Structure 1
Amino acid sequence: MSALAGSLADLIDTIETSPVADRDITARALAYVRDGVLTGEGPTTAGRVHFSRSLDRDDAAWCERILTATAVARQPVSRAEAEALFQIDAAATERVDNGRFDDLLAKAVVHHAAAASGLPVPPRAVALAPDTAIESWAPARAADISVDVLEWIAAQMRGKRHGNRKLGAMVAGLAGAAAALPLAQSLPAFTDLAL
């Protein structure tokens, strides 16, 4: 086992066995997934053929495993974790995961946005599950989401090669509902991002 793999193994051990952990640990574990997507090498790609800049089902499964681990299961998704997911999204120019990562990214970002805005959110295992519809728990009104959080999401999505349709549609709905707010003028055209 390489030093790199040992470090990831230590992070995984901490988040899967500790009763509670700092969410920065999960963000660091997600960085290993990002590096594996970028290079096609590393502990998250070991034992399988993986092309650089490609995101596959195993990469999405790594992200889900990390984000729903025991130590962070009852904590809302942090900004650092959401940023790590945006970095993975940007690193992947090819997708062979049947849409699972895009679903996970959208749910994790909205989970963070709602919690950072003081709204209650379901546990990660429920909110991030593939069979849970994001609309079943996500905020429906833009007025409920912090302006700072909406601006942060807009900055993360601006200028991306490929937009996340689910996240774009959710944010477009929130931005559309907030058309009367001054923030709406500073947001990018989410309808373009959602296409």
Structure 2
Amino acid sequence: MTASAIADPIGIIEPAKIADRYSAALALGIVRDGVITGEGPTTKGRIHYSRALDVEDAVLCSKILTAAAVEKQPVSRAEAEALFEIDAAAADRSDDGLFDDLFAKAVVHHAAAVSGLPVPSRAVALAPETAIESWAPPRAGNVNTEVLEWISRQMRSSRRSNHRLERLVGALVGTATLPMVQSPGILDFGM
């Protein structure tokens, strides 16, 4: 699928054209490009500075992640990676924390699903009004160590610290003490 396949005639991304998690990740990549350059289909018709993330960017990310075609599937690794890239690209934020909340919930949704834990639909899990504690299990017995290592690497490579994500991942692994004892330093976020 190409960028033009998920955009309308003037280039604005249409979440209704998201066909699968791959095209959702592709659309998030287009948002990332707009955040980096301040130009492109996601910034048409408005003033947008390079390396800036605003409310419209955060809302578009949410619409992409909750598109009908992917709404009942867990967040994929590619989508989570695209969110890490958007987070890293956005030096200036004017979104009132919407993106950080969405980002943290999406990464935990991915981690929990990969670990075989039950997760609600994206519309429920990623909604700003939904508290993560209402769906993320307080005790995650069989947390996938590989996904935790991946998250840790992503967070260490980021210039920006997302305290909400750190707390949520910490909560996800909080009681998975056996894997953590066996693999010390997995959640060393470089703080």
- TM tier, shorter chain? 0.7 to 0.9
| TM-score normalised over the length of structure 1 | 0.86
* Structure 2 residue 130 is the aligned partner of structure 1 residue 129: no
Which residue of structure 2 lines up, in the alignment, with residue 185 of structure 1? 185
Verify the 8 A CA contact 2:6 2:23 in the aligned structure 1.
Answer: no
* 1:27-42 superposed matches below 5 A: 27-42=25-40
2:48 pairs with one of 47, 50, 67: 50
Alpha-carbon separation, structure 2, partners of 1:157 and 1:57: 23
SS at match of 1:114: helix
Which residue of structure 2 lines up, in the alignment, with residue 160 of structure 1? 158
C-alpha displacement at 1:163, in angstroms?
1.2
Alpha-carbon separation, structure 2, partners of 1:179 and 1:5: 43
C-alpha displacement at 1:56, in angstroms?
0.4
For structure 2, the 5+ residue unaligned runs are none
Identity rate, percent: 60
Structure 1 moving runs of 4+ over 3 Å: 4-8, 10-13, 173-180
Which residue of structure 1 lines up, in the alignment, with residue 16 of structure 2? 16
Q: How many residues align?
A: 185
C-alpha displacement at 1:189, in angstroms?
4.1
1:16-36: CA deviation from partner (whole Å, max 9, x where unpaired): 257xx3311100000000000
Verify the 8 A CA contact 2:152 2:189 in the aligned structure 1.
Answer: no
C-alpha displacement at 1:178, in angstroms?
4.0
1:114-148: CA deviation from partner (whole Å, max 9, x where unpaired): 11111111010000000000111112224332111
Alpha-carbon separation, structure 1, partners of 2:165 and 2:186: 18
Alpha-carbon separation, structure 2, partners of 1:86 and 1:71: 22
SS at match of 1:71: coil
Alpha-carbon separation, structure 2, partners of 1:184 and 1:172: 14
SS at match of 1:55: strand
| TM-score normalised over the length of structure 2 | 0.88
Which residue of structure 2 lines up, in the alignment, with residue 90 of structure 1? 88
Verify the 8 A CA contact 2:139 2:174 in the aligned structure 1.
Answer: no
Higher helix share: 1
**Kindly tell me: are residues 115 and 40 of structure 1, through their superposed partners in 2, closer, same or farther at Cα, counting changes over 3 Å?**
same
Alpha-carbon separation, structure 2, partners of 1:27 and 1:7: 13
SS at match of 1:143: coil
Superposed CA RMSD in Å reads: 2.2
Verify the 8 A CA contact 1:154 1:187 in the aligned structure 2.
Answer: yes
Alpha-carbon separation, structure 1, partners of 2:69 and 2:105: 19
Alpha-carbon separation, structure 1, partners of 2:189 and 2:38: 33
